[in-house]
């Protein structure tokens, strides 16, 4: 038996897992260390939200949904992972 504290969290790779955002939009998690972003235009030509995922291994999956206008981002994931993503790539949510 392995205790939780002994588990190598780096092996918690969710690559290939389908992540469902609160509005129902689905994105497949990228490979460990990878990032993906998806944005599409609506039929009327307006921009849609951008959906982003980062597979951070020991920090889990970090998901973000950025509104086209005004620029605002909702984040999901563990706090340390979200902090690392914001530090590395910035944030549109004022934090």
pLDDT tens, per residue, the chain with 95 residues: 445 455 555 556 788 989 999 988 899 999 988 998 888 777 777 778 899 999 998 888 999 998 877 678 899 999 999 999 999 887 655 55
CA atoms within 13 A of residue 74's CA, in its CB half-sphere: 9
Residue 5, token pair as written in the block:
């504290």
pLDDT, residue 1, reads: 46
Q: Are 26 and 18 in contact (CB under 8 A)?
A: yes
pLDDT, residue 2, reads: 42
Q: Give the separation between CA 39 and CA 41, rounded to whole angstroms.
A: 7
For 22, other C-beta atoms within 10 Å of its C-beta total 9
Q: What is the sign, positive or negative, of the torsion defined by CA atoms of 95, 13, 40, 25?
A: negative
pLDDT, residue 29, reads: 92
Residue 78, token pair as written in the block:
């563990």
pLDDT, residue 10, reads: 53
Q: Give the separation between CA 55 and CA 42, rounded to whole angstroms.
A: 27
Using a cut of 0.85, tell me whether the model's pTM lies above it: no
């Amino acid at each position: 038996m392995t205790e939780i504290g002994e588990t190598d969290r780096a092996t918690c790779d969710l690559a290939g897992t389908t992540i469902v955002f609160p509005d129902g939009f689905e994105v497949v998690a990228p490979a460990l260390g990878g990032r993906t972003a998806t944005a599409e235009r609506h039929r009327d030509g307006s921009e849609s939200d951008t959906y982003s995922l980062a597979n951070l291994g020991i920090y889990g999956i970090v998901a973000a949904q950025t509104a086209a206008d005004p620029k605002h981002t909702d984040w999901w994931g563990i706090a340390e992972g979200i902090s690392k993503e914001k530090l590395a790539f910035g944030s549109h949510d004022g934090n």
